[in-house]
Chains A and B, each alone.
Chain A
Amino acid sequence: MAEKRQFPFAEEVVLPPELEGWEEMYPPQRLFSEDRAEWEKKHFWYQDKIHAPEPMYPLDDIFQEAWQIALSQFTTRVFCIPPAQGIAQRMFGCYMYICAIEPPPGEVIQQKAELFEKRVPYTFQNYLKQFEVWLERFQKLGKDMQQLHVPEELPDFVPEEEVIPIPKGTTDAYDLIESFNTIINMIFKAWQYHFQYLNLAYLAYLMFVDTARKLFPGIKESTIGKMVAGAEVSMFRPEEELCRLSRLAAAKSSVKEILKGDASAADKMNALKNTDEGREWLEELEKVKDPWFFVSCGSGWYHYEGSWINKMDVPFSYLQSYINRLEKGEKIERNLNEISEERERLVSEYKALIKSDDDRKSFEDAYNVVRSIYRYAEDHLFWVEHWLHTIWFEKIRQFGNILTKYDLLQQADDIYLFNRFEIPMLLEDLATAWACGVGVPARGPYWKKKADKRRKILEAARKWNPVPALGVPPEEVSEPFTLMLWGVTTDKVDEWLKGSTEVDTDVTEIKGFASSAGVAEGPARVLKMLGDVVDLKPGEIMVAPSTNPSWAPVFTKIKAAVTDIGGLTSHAAIVSREYGLPSVTGTGVATTVIKTGDIIRVDGSSGTVTIVKRA
């Protein structure tokens, strides 16, 4: 290509008129601007379909804000990956665009190299001990968040004990303001912790991929994924607990019959309360609920996804299918031993193929480095994106509830239509009106009108097909996340340039990552949300935007998996490999191009999905 390869700049993109006013939802530092134009135009921005595949609700944006800081600082200031800088974000048309920032000046790379050489090996060598500290600290943070006091209502008069013998000095109205400020700090802190080891885990993985490829030029990334993946990681615990509860239920006939029925989870739990067996089982459930049912029904990034804990119908539908399978004499658990044995077999057989003693030693060493820390990539996900986010969403709903109660919002979830800098205004408005006495108005109509307008903008944004990228593609990239998560490669950029914005439903073949080997053909079932899982029939091929641990039980029903988002280490990829299902991830367009009922062929060895016959 002789012409300059580039995408339009943000100001050259014409947004649909329905998006008018979208900018006010996000703080100014998150927008493209005249004053930073020179720097912004030097960089290549692409839509982050991994973390922000949908239009961004102002409050859900908080995780993105937090990771922009946290991810970047560990690369630039803490572990000092020499040529890499951070990842910057910009909101545009309610979608999030990100860029890997150009490398720093040579002398900075030099300085960082010295720090890296000292800090990084030490951290790897001490990771196991350090992770225990990390986990303890993280769990404390989550527990503290659960403890935060968010009043359900503001009292007409404060209770006696807050005055006599000694005044408390503050009121619930103050607690409301303080708790919100505190929870913001907590979520930011949680995301600081999130990246404590992740950059290094990904860097180690990339290093191992390079090492393996030097020795075996044709080795597949899915094979490398199998070599480094752990079997017993927190990510899979929710599902393991479900299996355990299913076996317990299967052994108690009264419990089994109730759980096999089609009633709602709430009705089933009520029915279980009536028998000794049922109560015993419920006790077991209660024991594992926190943390293991604090798992999102989605990615954990959006407030409307919900978690098992507040959508008990989801885990209960899995329990129902597990119990049915147990009755047929099927095995429901992932075989951890098999996974570990297979991993060890792969590693030792590849190792045996290396003829040079020096290389074998280097390979082993490289493998040990990646294995020592890679678990973090799998473990942190549960604790941060699932457990803590579930707690966060539950708490934020409490703020939403009280704002709704006093008519500042129409419904609790409308709180997400305001960003984290605006919500303190609503809370102050409420506290002020309450403090000023009876019959003092707050600005409810103003906030509600704003919320309505934003709701409409977000709906319009959902219908808009955002441009895949903005600006000039980079010369080179060294930022580990960019390479690993977003898979930004020359091919990917070319694909975007070809204008893959126009989704062509005439296509018969789509490409993605060859995540789990094998070929399967069958009817497609497009699941946009986990709730759609009730329609899934055994033997269908699942086509979904992406999956996460709460989807795990789905994998026992399907023939193959296809996702829009996610690479070789995505949840769908990992679980497919474990179940031996062919899987193609990160196609970008599968849920748009494929329709439920289409007969598709999934080739997980080549990363191709073919539409054999349209429904």
Chain B
Amino acid sequence: MPEQWIYWFSELGTEHNDIVGKKCANLGELTKAGFHVPPGYALGVAAYERFMKETGASERVLKYLEGFHADPENVEDTPKYETASKEIRAIVESIDMPPDMEETVKKYYSQLCEETGIENQFVATRSAGPASHPGQYETYLNVSGPDDVVQHIKRVWSSTFNTRSIIARARLGLPLHHDPIGVAVLTMVDAKAAGVILTVNPVNGDESKVAIEAAFGFGEAVVSGNVTPDRYLVDKVTLEIEEKVISDKGAEFVYNPETREMEYKELPADKRKLPCLEDIEILELTKIAKKIEAHFGCLQDIEFSVSMSLPFPENIFFVQARPESVWGKKKKESVLGKKSGFELLFEKATTPIKLKTD
């Protein structure tokens, strides 16, 4: 069997974590489990390795690094890293993929366009490290057309040489010239709203709640913290929306077809304080978040997008799911202290309620 380096999401599962990176493996797992994930494919870490090796990119980077010396713990050396990053990235991005690789990537892309029925389908190219480095590498949205897709896959690869990443590797004593990651190529959802779901109330660790944060436009607005999102708190069991905090969302993160760039666009005054999700959508998100949590067997941190063009419930897409990192890690020790019902009753009967607050 020849070494495989490209996969449809539906061919992947959590077990492929080291082969395609966490994000791709999770998207695959979600797809396979029947959750609504935008169609897409993944380039495994082997693709990165092949590209770097076969094209001589690795050698050229190593060569460049021979003359590079800087102290990652010294803030004053940061500009040195910035310069190195710029130059290394230029080297990597200027090199063509091996022809068969490029052909395969484009073939997968055209099949994706066929599946969605849209020519030059907009896709996102996202990095997927085997270990989680949230926010360290780069993501490109609204990539369209086969040549662009190829180019942006390379840009995601080259983002392993962004300043953040090389400083991080230098601090850990890891090789600077090599950091294999996977890349997810997934269909863009024309998001009217998007955001994050935690299957726990992040404020107090109440696991009977689902917390949703969402804003208009694409999810980056919420993840990056550039927009104050709406907050919804839903009970997992009663499915009651118990809290609704509608924020002044100011702007939305959207695609500007003229500049072909993503940008923050100010919302009109009458839309800023409107809830960005309808109750029916909040409840659907909650129900599916519960299923995702059940599927992975631990508290989840989920990203979602709501399409503006599709009807409910097909308009709800899941673009990421990973274990929740704060409460999920807390050791689950007993809060009731192994007490029997009567012991609890006695406790209640002997503890007066303090009324005065002043």
Contact = CB atoms under 8 A, between A and B. Distances in A.
Contact of A220 (B240, B335, B338): B240
A102 B235 CA distance: 38
B201 A218 contact: yes
A477 B351 CA distance: 9
B356 A210 contact: no
Given A218-B206, A362-B339, A362-B344, A478 B351 contact: yes
Contacts of B346: 113, 116-117, 120
Nearest to B338: A358
Contacts of A478: 349, 351-353
A605 B341 contact: no
A211 B236 CA distance: 18
Nearest to A124: B342
B240 A605 contact: yes
Interface stretch (A199-207, A314-322, A448-456, A590-598): A199-207
A216 B355 contact: no
A366 B242 contact: no
A214 B336 contact: yes
A335 interface: no
A476 interface: yes
Contacts of A223: 235, 237-238, 240
B356 A477 contact: no
Main SS class of interface, B: loop
A359 B334 contact: yes
Interface string A74-107: 0000000111100000000000000000010000
B4 interface: no
A488 B342 contact: no
Interface stretch (A234-242, A301-309, A349-357, A567-575): A349-357
Contacts of B329: none
Given A216-B208, A476-B353, A478-B351, A211 B336 contact: yes
Interface in A333-362: 345-346, 349-350, 353, 355-356, 358-359, 361-362
A219 interface: yes
Contacts of A121: 342, 345
A273 B286 CA distance: 59
A126 interface: no
B69 interface: no
B201 to A, nearest CB: 6
A468 B206 CA distance: 36
A5 interface: yes
Contacts of A490: 355-357
A362 B339 CA distance: 6
B89 to A, nearest CB: 45
Contact of A81 (B339, B341, B349): B349
Contacts of B347: 207
B355 A493 contact: yes
A430 to B, nearest CB: 50
Interface size on A, as a range, is 35 or more
A217 B209 CA distance: 10
Interface in A482-496: 483, 488-490, 493
B259 interface: no
A490 B357 CA distance: 7
Given A220-B235, A358-B336, A359-B335, A210 B348 contact: yes
Residue among A207, A215, A346, A473 with the most chain B CB within 10 A? A207
B246 to A, nearest CB: 14
B241 A476 contact: no
B340 A365 contact: yes
A346 B237 contact: yes
A204 B335 contact: no
Given A81-B349, A356-B334, A362-B341, A216 B206 contact: yes
Main SS class of interface, A: helix
A205 to B, nearest CB: 10
Interface string B156-176: 000000000000000000000
Nearest to A113: B350
A475 interface: yes
A332 to B, nearest CB: 26
B333 interface: yes
A218 B345 CA distance: 21
A363 interface: yes
A517 B237 CA distance: 13
Nearest to A342: B238
A474 interface: yes
Interface in B305-358: 332-342, 344-358
Contacts of B337: 358, 362
B34 to A, nearest CB: 21
A116 B357 CA distance: 30
A477 B206 CA distance: 27
B153 interface: no
Contacts of B236: 349, 353
B356 A211 contact: no
A369 interface: yes
A355 B358 contact: no
Residue among B347, B349, B353, B357 with the most chain A CB within 10 A? B349
Given A215-B335, A358-B334, A350 B348 contact: no
Given A1-B358, A220-B240, A493-B355, A362 B349 contact: no
A473 B355 contact: yes
A477 B353 contact: yes
Contacts of A215: 335-336
Contacts of B342: 120-121, 124, 369
Contacts of A1: 358
A453 B339 CA distance: 60
Residue among B236, B238, B341, B351 with the most chain A CB within 10 A? B341
B233 interface: yes
A368 interface: yes
Given A83-B350, A517-B238, A368 B341 contact: yes
B341 A365 contact: yes
B204 interface: yes
B341 A353 contact: no
Nearest to B233: A218
Contacts of A218: 201, 204, 206, 208-209, 233, 235, 242
Contact of B345 (A204, A217, A474): A204
B199 to A, nearest CB: 10
B281 interface: no
B326 to A, nearest CB: 15
Contacts of A2: 358
A365 B242 CA distance: 27
A261 B341 CA distance: 54
Contacts of A207: 344-345, 347-349
Nearest to B345: A207
A5 B358 contact: yes
B125 to A, nearest CB: 37
Interface in A27-85: 81-84
Given A214-B336, A215-B335, A517 B341 contact: no
Given A362-B341, A369-B341, A103 B235 contact: no
B248 interface: no
B102 interface: no
B238 A346 contact: yes
Given A362-B339, A369-B345, A474 B350 contact: no
Given A365-B340, A475-B356, A477-B352, A353 B240 contact: no
Contacts of B238: 220, 223, 346, 517
12 contacts: A5-B356, A121-B345, A216-B206, A216-B208, A218-B233, A355-B332, A474-B356, A475-B354, A476-B355, A476-B356, A478-B349, A517-B240
Given A346-B237, A488-B355, 20 more contacts: A1-B358, A83-B349, A116-B346, A120-B346, A207-B345, A207-B347, A207-B348, A216-B208, A217-B205, A223-B238, A353-B236, A355-B332, A362-B338, A366-B341, A366-B344, A369-B342, A476-B354, A477-B353, A478-B353, A490-B357
Interface of B: 201, 204-209, 233, 235-238, 240-242, 332-342, 344-358
User: 3 nearest interchain CB pairs?
Assistant: A478-B352, A369-B341, A365-B341
